[in-house]
Amino acid sequence: MSASQSPAIEAGKVVTLHYTLRDSAGNELDSSGTDEPIQYLHGIGMIVPGLEEGLAGKRQGERAKVVVKPEDGYGERDPRGIQEVSRDTFPPDTALEPGTEFEAEGPDGDPILATVVAVAADKVTIDLNHPLAGLTLYFDVSIKEVRDATAEELAHGHAHGPEGHEHEGHD
């Protein structure tokens, strides 16, 4: 199948891709690795909005470099996200040092990733901002496959793997 005949990425397509994410200095922040590519259902906000927008219209076999500004990525850093909490908030045996990431409860009750900024004798400064907040994100994406989502995938609102319905969480 040539690239021009393969379907373009749009809402309702399942996209399989490899990606590398770097910051503005070129440091690698994340990647899909060398093994299994990732898969997502396009058009429903499963990935950050700027990346979803940047991939629209691309086809199987294409590479895409997508630059995502903070407002289209993980948001700007919110200074109110820096908070001081009592050391007792953490179990006594927890190893705490600057950079330690842990799961905290976000403002809407959902779990969010938080980071330890500083540790004093009885206080711990934490940052509730997403680790990628405030950053311009540089994605390098290699598109492996674009296909129509199945009715089941559309009903569930996510992509299913090659073996069909193999994830947990619902029937």
Give residues in contact with Zn ion (CB under 5 A).
156
Q: Which is nearer to Zn ion, 43 or 131 (CB)?
A: 43
Q: Which is nearer to Zn ion, 69 or 167 (CB)?
A: 167
Half-sphere exposure of 52 (CA within 13 A, CB side): 18
User: Which of 33, 4, 2 lies closest to 17 in space, CA to CA?
Assistant: 33
Least CB distance to Zn ion at residue 80 (A): 36
DSSP letter, residue 25: T
Least CB distance to Zn ion at residue 160 (A): 6
Least CB distance to Zn ion at residue 9 (A): 20
Least CB distance to Zn ion at residue 33 (A): 23
Q: Is 6:146 a contact under the CB 8 Å cutoff? A: yes
Q: Which is nearer to Zn ion, 35 or 171 (CB)?
A: 171
Find the residue with minimal CB distance to Zn ion: 156
Rounded to whole angstroms, the Cα distance separating 100 from 48 reads 24
CA 73 to each of CA 50, 57, 67, 154: distance values in angstroms, whole numbers, following the listed order: 6, 19, 10, 24
Q: Which is nearer to Zn ion, 106 or 157 (CB)?
A: 157
